[in-house]
Structure 1
């Protein structure tokens, strides 16, 4: 089954990294940031720096250990089974939880054509339908999914690049400066909050590492795709958001469920806003497709090591973990129903911050594991020392980002982390009863 499988090459891997990072954050986050003010752009810069540092560490780990599972595999190899389980547990939760936010972002742009979708309940129903359609797509061949991602990421890049480059002709610095800080908090607190929120847009920088097991040349392609994809996304994020905040007043931008369409309409008229909405819808749903692929692969990697229920390890004739995909589609549908909010932007923001916190935990564990892996591999060279320095900087950045998540998000994130110990203990009891020995690589 797996021997004849066509695998991912460098281009689709890079596209998946960029698409997973930009597909939803680029299209809805400018509205959330506008509520904080233009000072939030400094949060973008800090997040971009932290993301590129982490991408460089992940790229080096991807070169040394091109294994399926990405951060989970690195953590398990570096600091043990329980830490590895906590990473895969939290990261898996973050992915399918974050996928609901991506679905909401796509539906927000659909509301440009169908205003009823700006209401919570109709938006929720439409998001659930999209999730199930893309789950079905992910039961097909991996190459088909890669081609789909290439098309959808192209649709995402067209409006973003156009506005990031051409929007400067309509840019008004006074509009940007007029709403420098609208959060009601200090500048430092606002920048910290913006950094936590914008980190949501960089989740996905590890995508190529997670898919290493399905890459054609993982030793070469995974590191390149990771760094190039992250750098490209960072540049486009900062340029496009700056342009948006310099064209549309913050009060208007903060209320929009389709900020890029709003700006296109301001510049060229309603026809341009409609075109951008169509492209944004395709891009958001393409991003969702890439993350559904990711959630299936990370759970399967853990199940293959007996750290997740064996249900997640079962595959169909296309080598897709179909049972695990169905389980997570059900969970995403339930989460959407449980987090109904009076406004689409608020529902998106709550789910996004929860996903950020759980993913930060996985990033911290992975960066710490890199220190152990460097020592294990005997890389006490300039390369090893640089990787160590990057890992320390990355950990410091992640802790700072955690602080900006807010008390409510930290509370629920802490509960999720503690629950991982309960689940792990239950899994270990099952291992003992079944006579399964779990060894660390």
Structure 2
């Protein structure tokens, strides 16, 4: 795929960043150690798929069953939006293949403040989401080991689940890639078993009504179902954020992003359809483990629950492995530009190690709070709100990245725009922007309100970091 603004065009002018290394440049200089490896296309694709597909897929059929099979239409609409966003990230990465993804794109287009907001929002999203993933994994682990005795045993299990991927990250990108590849393969085996095998046991009588509420408009039903599904595609930016660790990023980031989204969409859509067709609609509405019920309906017995629990734990560990890396990459990129504390700059074996440790510690503290409050029951409502808030926060870098693409297209900057693809790129950017705004609406009023508070806190942090950067520049000039 030829792009007049890609490999043949110099990298965008830097705004004060003396370190503009890409994976290509570092690899050419031979600076990789034995524990650091550039991600090729397969690993980068696994990073995208693994981060998109966490533990939520195992409940998705139950979550949307109440709306009827029209929810599959909502899945299709969201998939188109996610693909458009993936294409935008691919185009932006071709122009600027540095680590940081949305942060790099927003800063290059709109300056330090926009870049900081992208980095700040993404960082908060990542470590709070890690805490949520770990708590979700404990629920599945409890089905296997029956650890639901004391709150501290469940809390300890959640901390172990967080720190295992953290240690893999600290070992280097070589091990991050290996864990991601193995986890992605192991999670997809049972999911594909249901998705593909379920077609042989498909019974149309199990589907239930196309639209469960006949009084609602089809558009309203699709929107309501989409509100539950909107967050299923978070992670589409994974390859772009880690572009500096991807081999030939100008080419592979876009490809990995598209392949990862398509792979996740295939599993989502086909898996949900298979569960709809193998589990009776009324039973599915009340089911807490729809994939387990589907396996049991297909093959008999009750072993489906254990199989799905194992797959869910592996799936979440793989997602945590990838998200832990991403949570350190963005502040690392911002720290190079003086917009985050310099402590995030420490990097070994291809991984920003200090950022990984800070992320895991913060997620661990939030996990302890969740379990300790209420002596084991946890403040579920507060925790759910925090997770929803951080999902809203993830839309901030999405919107800024798509806005950067729209800015380049409208301003007509020749070195950044392929004029032969102007119309197509403009349509794709508009769809991606609409998808990002839909994510904001799906988060809900309370989440948006609380998320804005987090953004305002970030403004104060930016003021401090910007003042320190300006003072340091003045001291050097003196």
* TM-score greater than 0.5 by the shorter chain: yes
Alignment of 1:223-238 (within 5 A): 223-238=254-269
> Which whole-Å CA distance do the structure 2 matches of 1:254 and 1:122 have between them?
31
Structure 1 length as normaliser, TM-score? Answer: 0.89
5 Å-filtered alignment, 1:203-282, equals 203-249=234-280, 252-253=283-284, 258-268=289-299, 269-282=301-314
Instruction: Note if 1:175 corresponds to 2:213.
Output: no
- Aligned residues between the structures: 437
1:7 — aligned with what? 38
Cα distance in 1 for residues equivalent to 2:119 and 2:281: 38
| Counterpart check, 1:47 vs 2:91 | no
Query: Given the superposition, is the C-alpha separation of residues 88 and 132 from structure 1 closer, same or farther in structure 2, using an over 3 Å criterion?
Result: same
Contact residue 257 and residue 345 of structure 1 kept, 8 A: no
* Secondary structure of the structure 2 residue equivalent to 1:429: helix
Q: TM-score, normalised by structure 2?
A: 0.83
Q: Could you list the runs of 5+ residues in structure 1 that have no partner in the other structure?
A: none
Residues 165-205 of structure 1, C-alpha deviation per residue, up to 9 Å, x if partnerless?
11123333333325944799876455324323323221111
Write the deviation string for residues 79-105 of structure 1: whole angstroms up to 9, x where unpaired: 111111101110111111222222233
Moved more, 172-181 or 380-389: 172-181
Could you say if the C-alpha distance between residues 52 and 258 of structure 1 is closer, same or farther in structure 2, counting changes exceeding 3 Å?
same
| 8 Å Cα contact 1:200-1:353 kept in structure 2 | no
Q: Residue 443 of structure 2 aligns to a residue in which SS?
A: coil
> Quick one: distance in 1 between partners of 2:142 and 2:130?
19
Relative distance call for 1:333 and 1:175 in structure 2 (3 A) is: same
Aligned counterparts, 1:57-68, within 5 A: 57-68=88-99
Q: Is the 8 A contact 2:88 2:429 kept in 1?
A: yes
8 Å Cα contact 1:200/1:355 also seen in 2? no
Quick check: 1:35–1:183 contact (8 Å CA) kept in 2? no
CA gap of 1:59–1:129, structure 2 versus 1, over 3 A, is same
Matching residue of 1:306: 338
Shift of 1:300: 0.9
The answer to whether the 8 Å contact 2:208/2:281 transfers is no
Q: Tell me, yes or no, if the aligned pair for 2:293 and 2:304 is still in contact at 8 Å.
A: no
TM-align CA RMSD: 3.0
In structure 2, the partner of 1:329 is: 360
Question: Structure 1 residues 294 and 378, CA, compared in 2 at 3 Å: closer, same or farther?
Answer: closer
Give, in angstroms, the shift of residue 325 of structure 1. 1.5
Rate the CA distance shift 1:217–1:378 in 2: closer, same or farther, 3 A: closer
Note closer, same or farther for the CA distance 1:401–1:200 as it changes in structure 2 (3 Å cut).
closer
Cα displacement (A) at 1:234: 1.0
Between the aligned partners of 2:182 and 2:439, the Cα distance in structure 1 is 33
- 1:359 corresponds to which residue? 394
Structure (1 or 2) with the larger CA radius of gyration: 2
Deviation at 1:24, TM superposition (A): 2.5
Does the alignment pair 1:285 with 2:292?
Answer: no
Instruction: Please list, as runs of the form range in 1=range in 2, the aligned pairs for 1:53-132 lying within 5 A after superposition.
Output: 53-117=84-148, 122-132=153-163
Q: Which runs of 5+ in 2 are unaligned?
A: 1-25
- 1:293 Cα offset (Å): 1.0
